[in-house]
Amino acid sequence: MTAQRKKPITPRHRARAFVLQGLYQHLVAGQDEAAIRAQAESVEGFEKADRAFYEALLSRTLAELPALVERLTPHLARPWEEVSPVEKSILLLSACEFLHHPETPYRVALNEAIELAKEFGGTDGHKFINGVLDKLAKELQRP
């Protein structure tokens, strides 16, 4: 059962959800970017996502995966290997958004990450996501 969103689903939120799913496919099944894009484009509702944002966020996150993991690891209370694939995916896409999308206010990116964790993650995953990303934001000095 997933948490209910109180506000309407925006095109950017849809894009983030598709990036999350794509990163999950990459982490769990080793799918490459072309396969991830092809699968996402075949899903009903993809046309309602912000396609440009989706493509930019997916490409950049995949391209910078090792560097993003390196940025996130010091803020984890457990080894990266013990983080669930869903939580890893949310952390990666959010770290990429923090670093490369300054037009998105920190609080918006953080709230979106928490919403994704509530929708797709485990029971208390959103608390873990919040803690890690808050520390990363302070390191990056994002208000």
Q: What is the CATH number of the domain that holds 125?
A: 1.10.940.10
Nearest to 90 by CA among 63, 64, 118, 66: 118
Residues with Cβ within 8 Å of 47's Cβ and at least 6 positions away in sequence, in order, are none
- Calculate the alpha carbon distances from 139 to 20, 49, 71, 95, 143 in Å: 23, 30, 10, 11, 11
Q: Decide if 123 is inside a domain.
A: yes
Q: Is the CB of residue 25 less than 8 Å from the CB of residue 35? A: yes
Q: Does any domain span residue 65?
A: yes
Is residue 6 domain-resident? no
Range of the domain at 91: 11-140
- pLDDT for res 142: 56
Assigned domain for 117 exists: yes
Q: What whole-number distance in Å separates Cα of residue 91 and Cα of residue 123?
A: 16
- pLDDT tens sequence across 70-95: 999 999 999 999 999 999 999 999 99
Q: Is residue 3 part of a domain?
A: no
